[in-house]
């Protein structure tokens, strides 16, 4: 066994690191998709620690223990099984908590809880090795500075994404404030709202963006006065304008009223916001906090607006709890999902956690805001500081109101605008860096995860109104914590500019662009509904999102999702229809060639006399034969497999002869993107690992996209699939090699 301290490496450790460096690089290339030609553009992770003969314990006890080796690098923790191809790669940013138990006869237990809800339970034979690994993982998961995370160490592998001079990398220019407000129609309605550079260089509010939209009549004095009167200087500014009737959503932080303070400038600004709406309806001021919490804040010199000082406004409160309650609620909820031993315990813990109750409260507030705008009533929304509950509720309302935000790209814009742009504290809430004290540790809270859970609940009720699927939401959540991309680093827009993230890190959105098809919802109907009304708030409509919270638990999730099966089926039908159309075209060409040959034969006398013994095929002219030979020939038995497919079949050989098996043809077509495609495709239900013999990577969860090769019909991981030359087909590496030989 090899073991050493991360900070005091001995000679044996240094030798081990040198010997394993090449292996780690190869593993890293295979998982991260790095080509050997790009080695100069990539900073390989350094091996920090290694422990051999470690047992990985299945949490549910449904699988036997797996013996393997743990490699801890500067970027990932890697578990590699000794006897199988199983590999588990976890970015260091996803390490949540690490716990160890006392040494027993079986060994020393070590539990690693990850931020994406994976729980790894290890059994290590020696106590010292367990302690060293415990300390190493604890430090790797808690960098002291944000610039130490993996996003800053990576280098662009795609030459098309290399920065030009000092410009931003691809994906960082996705969101532009002026373009988004122009799309909403704000620019056209210049009589109501205007752009202001009041916050240029973050002069007045460092957690707001530089570009703000305020009522047309707002003076600089009003804005300055409102800044001084609002917590964190977060004055009321526009975030969404509802085109059909001109109603708007404005966001801000709580006022610093105490028991009697008031601000004339803030009152004037609120009055101008009310007047931007041509409707005579009063302005709604929505406080998302419980009334008790607001009263406590009032005793601290903060609080809420005094109804006597704000004319033509109606006040509404919603009992959405603070970050501390949500953090505790999620922990109890995860205990119910991951530790409950009986059905009774599960439901008791689920009820006591209150997680689904909090989800329902958020939806209720979002629905209220959306309905208000539909009825022509503008809303001003705030919580305490305006970057947690405010971001959640107004984002939900905009999803209900605007179909653009329910698209893949539009959802990215919504996150950029109301979460990243208006200063949701991702560093603090996601725990990107180590907490310097107990108060800092209490800043961690699953606010963004909770919002994504709400989106999932809405998707369940209206599955045909969202362009994206749940895989999209789950991967956004995972990457918000992983620190592999720069998109979710920093607490506000100013932080991201100071860190120069657009030039030093890769954008998550550019990575998502490369996997766009993975996130499509096959049931999406773009023009079905503009406003999502009739959202059911009955408690029975809110369920546990097991694809998120239990996705790593073997046996809990079905082995194939309805969406993935639908996508694969539609894709297969499309491939076969394209091939059928190609065959019809070739048959028509063959008939045309045959007709032309007969015409020429009737016009000129034959120079040969047929004895009558030759067959029609043998008497066929060369030109006709060449036309007919261009039509691809299929196997006489559609369910059979070619020798090549048989040689690359799964190690258990169960795909051969199955009704869900594959069919391959050895013939090629000159103008087809793929040689004659497989008639039968492998079922998603039978896919436990990549079919490529050189890979064999295990599909850990249903979330992992399994891609069919058009030529052999087998399922492969993304690393073993490539596009054809015309970018219209998809083949595995084995079939691509055969195509090249032919």
Query: SS3 for 446-493, per residue?
Result: CHHHHHHHHHHHHHHHCCCCCCECHHHHHHHHHHHHHCCCCCCCCCCH
What pLDDT, on the 0 to 100 scale, is given for residue 551? Answer: 86
| pLDDT bracket for residue 413 (50, 70, 90) | very high
Q: What values do phi and psi take at 68, rounded to 5?
A: -165, -165
- Taking residues 231-245, what's their average pLDDT? 95
Most confident of 33-47, 478-492, 681-695, 718-732: 478-492
Check whether 96 is labelled as a binding-site residue: no
Most confident of 133-137, 193-197, 391-395, 621-625: 391-395
Which candidate, 649, 657, 719, 723, places its Cα nearest to that of 688?
649
Q: How many residues does the chain have?
A: 742
Task: Work out the angle at residue 71's Cα, subtended by the Cα atoms of residues 65 and 77, and round it to the nearest 5 degrees.
Answer: 85
Look up residue 251 and give its two tokens.
């966001």
Look up residue 170 and give its two tokens.
């691809």
Residues 699, 687 contacting (CB under 8 angstroms):
yes
Q: Residue 528 pLDDT > 50, yes or no? A: yes
Q: CB neighbours (10 Å) of residue 39?
A: 14
736 vs 303: CA distance, rounded Å: 66
| Strand runs labelled E in 458-610 | none
Q: Residue 640 pLDDT > 70, yes or no? A: no
**Which of 191-195, 198-202, 442-446, 611-615 is predicted with the least confidence, judged by mean pLDDT?**
611-615
Which candidate, 89, 2, 100, 98, places its Cα nearest to that of 51?
2
What pLDDT, on the 0 to 100 scale, is given for residue 724? Answer: 78
Check whether 193 is labelled as a binding-site residue: no
Check whether 385 is labelled as a binding-site residue: yes
Q: Residue 653 pLDDT > 70, yes or no? A: no
User: Domain coordinates of the chain in residue numbers?
Assistant: 11-142, 179-549, 562-588+622-741
Look up residue 304 and give its two tokens.
């809420």
What pLDDT, on the 0 to 100 scale, is given for residue 75? Answer: 86
Q: How far is residue 395 CA from its own chain's centroid? A: 17
- HSE value, Cβ hemisphere, 13 Å, CA-based, for 315: 15
94 vs 97: CA distance, rounded Å: 9
Q: What values do phi and psi take at 53, rounded to 5?
A: 55, 45
Query: Could you tell me which residue, 641 or 322, shows the higher pLDDT?
Result: 322
Task: Give tens-digit pLDDT for 250-259.
Answer: 999 999 987 7
- In DSSP terms, 250 is beta-bridged to 238, 380
11-142: CATH topology is PH-domain like (2.30.29)
**Which of 131-145, 359-373, 620-634, 710-724 is predicted with the least confidence, judged by mean pLDDT?**
620-634
Q: Residue 339 pLDDT > 90, yes or no? A: no
> Which letter does DSSP use for residue 279 in this model?
S
Mark out the alpha helices in 163-312 (DSSP H runs).
177-184, 220-229, 264-275, 291-299
Residues 418, 137 contacting (CB under 8 angstroms):
no
309 vs 222: CA distance, rounded Å: 16
What pLDDT, on the 0 to 100 scale, is given for residue 233? Answer: 95
| pLDDT bracket for residue 688 (50, 70, 90) | confident
Q: How far is residue 128 CA from its own chain's centroid? A: 38
75 vs 92: CA distance, rounded Å: 6
Q: What contacts 582, CB < 8 A, 6 or more positions away?
A: 669, 671, 672
Average pLDDT value for the chain: 82
Check whether 387 is labelled as a binding-site residue: yes
What pLDDT, on the 0 to 100 scale, is given for residue 741? Answer: 74
337 vs 344: CA distance, rounded Å: 12
What pLDDT, on the 0 to 100 scale, is given for residue 667? Answer: 36
Q: Residue 41 pLDDT > 60, yes or no? A: no
Which candidate, 660, 594, 655, places its Cα nearest to that of 622?
594
What pLDDT, on the 0 to 100 scale, is given for residue 379? Answer: 97
108 vs 100: CA distance, rounded Å: 7
Q: What contacts 72, CB < 8 A, 6 or more positions away?
A: 6, 47, 48, 49, 50, 78, 133, 136, 137, 140
**Which of 9-23, 44-58, 428-442, 725-739 is predicted with the least confidence, judged by mean pLDDT?**
9-23
Question: Looking at the domain that runs over 562-588+622-741, which CATH code has it been given?
Answer: 3.30.40.10
Query: Could you tell me which residue, 359 or 690, shows the higher pLDDT?
Result: 359
Check whether 419 is labelled as a binding-site residue: no
| Pairing mode, strands 379-382 and 283-287 | parallel
Task: Give tens-digit pLDDT for 557-603.
Answer: 666 778 888 888 888 898 888 889 988 999 998 988 988 776 666 66
- Taking residues 190-194, what's their average pLDDT? 84
- Taking residues 5-25, what's their average pLDDT? 47
Task: Give tens-digit pLDDT for 273-292.
Answer: 999 988 767 999 999 999 99
Which candidate, 143, 32, 400, places its Cα nearest to that of 249?
400
What pLDDT, on the 0 to 100 scale, is given for residue 635? Answer: 34
- Taking residues 22-51, what's their average pLDDT? 55
What pLDDT, on the 0 to 100 scale, is given for residue 601? Answer: 64
Q: Residue 397 pLDDT > 80, yes or no? A: yes
Task: Give tens-digit pLDDT for 110-128.
Answer: 999 999 999 999 999 999 9
Report the b/e string of 62-79 with b at 16+ CB within 10 A. eeeebebbbbbbebbbbb
| pLDDT bracket for residue 167 (50, 70, 90) | low
Check whether 14 is labelled as a binding-site residue: no
| pLDDT bracket for residue 37 (50, 70, 90) | very low
What pLDDT, on the 0 to 100 scale, is given for residue 24? Answer: 53
Check whether 386 is labelled as a binding-site residue: yes
Q: CB neighbours (10 Å) of residue 244?
A: 12
241 vs 558: CA distance, rounded Å: 42
What pLDDT, on the 0 to 100 scale, is given for residue 14? Answer: 47
What pLDDT, on the 0 to 100 scale, is given for residue 42? Answer: 42
Task: Work out the angle at residue 461's Cα, subtended by the Cα atoms of residues 457 and 466, and round it to the nearest 5 degrees.
Answer: 85
Residue 593 is a catalytic residue: no
Check whether 323 is labelled as a binding-site residue: yes
What pLDDT, on the 0 to 100 scale, is given for residue 491? Answer: 96
Q: How far is CA 342 from CA 330, 338, 540, 621, in A?
A: 20, 11, 21, 78
| pLDDT bracket for residue 141 (50, 70, 90) | confident
- HSE value, Cβ hemisphere, 13 Å, CA-based, for 736: 13
Check whether 383 is labelled as a binding-site residue: yes
pTM of the model: 0.82
What pLDDT, on the 0 to 100 scale, is given for residue 439? Answer: 82
Locate tokens 């999902």: which residue? 337
Per cent of the chain over pLDDT 90 is 50
Identical topology for domains 11-142 and 562-588+622-741: no
Q: Residue 223 pLDDT > 90, yes or no? A: yes
Q: Which of 108, 114, 379, 383 is catalytic?
A: 383
| pLDDT bracket for residue 458 (50, 70, 90) | very high
Which candidate, 158, 149, 177, 176, places its Cα nearest to that of 510?
158
């Amino acid at each position: 066994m090899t073991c050493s301290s991360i900070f005091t490496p001995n000679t044996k450790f240094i030798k081990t690191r040198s010997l394993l460096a090449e292996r780690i690089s190869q593993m890293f290339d295979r998982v991260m998709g790095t080509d050997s030609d790009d080695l100069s553009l990539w900073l390989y992770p350094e091996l920090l620690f290694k422990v051999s003969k470690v047992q990985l314990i299945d949490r549910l006890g449904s699988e036997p223990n797996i013996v393997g080796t743990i490699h801890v690098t500067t970027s990932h923790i890697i578990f590699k099984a000794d006897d199988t191809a199983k590999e588990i790669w976890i970015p260091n940013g996803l390490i949540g908590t690490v716990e160890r138990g006392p040494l027993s006869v079986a060994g020393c237990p070590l539990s690693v809880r990850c931020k994406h809800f994976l729980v790894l339970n290890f059994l290590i034979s020696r106590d010292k090795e367990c302690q060293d690994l415990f300390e190493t993982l604890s430090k790797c998961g808690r960098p002291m500075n944000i610039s130490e995370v993996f996003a800053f160490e990576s280098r662009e592998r795609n030459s098309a994404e290399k920065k030009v001079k000092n410009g931003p990398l691809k994906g960082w220019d996705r969101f532009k404030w002026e373009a988004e407000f122009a799309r909403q129609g704000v620019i056209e309605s210049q009589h109501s709202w205007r752009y202001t550079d009041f916050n240029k260089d973050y002069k007045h509010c460092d957690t707001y963006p530089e570009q703000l939209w305020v009522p047309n009549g707002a003076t600089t004095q009003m804005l300055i006065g409102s800044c001084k009167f609002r917590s964190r200087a977060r004055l009321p500014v526009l975030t969404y304008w509802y085109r059909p009737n001109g109603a708007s959503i404005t966001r801000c932080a709580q006022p610093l009223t105490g028991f009697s303070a008031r601000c004339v400038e803030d009152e004037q600004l609120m009055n101008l916001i009310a007047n931007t709406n041509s409707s005579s309806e009063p302005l709604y001021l929505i406080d998302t906090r419980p009334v008790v919490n607001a009263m406590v804040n009032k005793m601290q010199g903060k609080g809420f607006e005094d109804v006597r000082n704000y004319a033509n406004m109606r006040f509404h409160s919603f009992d959405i709890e603070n970050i501390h309650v949500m953090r505790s609620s999620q922990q109890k909820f995860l205990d119910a999902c991951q530790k409950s031993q009986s059905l009774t315990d599960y439901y008791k813990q689920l009820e006591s956690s209150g997680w689904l109750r909090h989800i329902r409260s958020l939806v209720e507030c979002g629905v209220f805001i959306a309905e208000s705008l539909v009825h022509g009533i503008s809303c001003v929304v705030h919580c305490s500081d305006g970057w947690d509950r405010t971001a959640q509720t107004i984002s939900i309302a905009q999803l209900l109101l605007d179909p653009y935000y329910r698209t893949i790209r539009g959802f990215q814009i919504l996150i950029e605008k109301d979460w990243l742009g208006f200063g949701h504290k991702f560093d603090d809430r996601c725990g990107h860096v180590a907490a310097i004290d107990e108060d800092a540790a209490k800043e961690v809270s699953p606010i963004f995860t909770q919002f994504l859970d709400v989106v999932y609940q809405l998707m369940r009720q209206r599955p045909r109104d969202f362009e994206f699927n749940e895989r999209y939401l789950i991967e956004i959540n995972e990457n918000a914590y992983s620190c592999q991309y720069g998109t979710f680093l920093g607490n506000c827009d100013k932080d991201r500019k100071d860190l120069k993230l657009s030039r030093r890190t890769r954008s998550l959105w550019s990575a998502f662009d490369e996997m766009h098809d993975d996130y499509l919802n096959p049931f999406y109907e773009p023009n079905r509904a503009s406003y999502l009304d009739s959202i059911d708030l009955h408690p029975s409509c809110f369920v546990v999102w097991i694809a998120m919270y239990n996705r790593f638990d073997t046996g809990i999730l079905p082995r194939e999702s309805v969406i993935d099966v639908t996508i694969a089926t539609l894709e297969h039908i499309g491939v076969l229809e394209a091939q059928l159309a190609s065959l019809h075209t070739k048959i028509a060409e063959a008939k045309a060639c045959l007709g032309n040959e007969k015409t020429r034969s009737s016009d000129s006398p034959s120079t040969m006399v047929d004895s009558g013994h030759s067959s029609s095929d043998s008497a066929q002219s060369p030109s006709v034969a060449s036309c007919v030979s261009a039509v691809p020939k299929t196997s006489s038995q559609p369910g059979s497999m070619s020798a090549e497919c048989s040689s690359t079949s799964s190690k258990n050989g169960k795909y051969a002869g199955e009704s869900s098996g594959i069919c391959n043809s050895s013939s090629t077509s000159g103008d087809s993107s793929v040689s004659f495609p497989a008639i039968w495709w492998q079922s998603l239900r039978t896919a436990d690992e990549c079919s490529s013999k050189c890979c064999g990577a295990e599909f850990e969860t249903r979330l992992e996209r399994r891609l069919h090769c058009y030529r052999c019909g087998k399922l492969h991981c993304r690393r073993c699939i490539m596009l054809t030359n015309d970018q219209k087909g998809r083949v595995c590496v084995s079939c691509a090699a055969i195509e090249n030989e032919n």
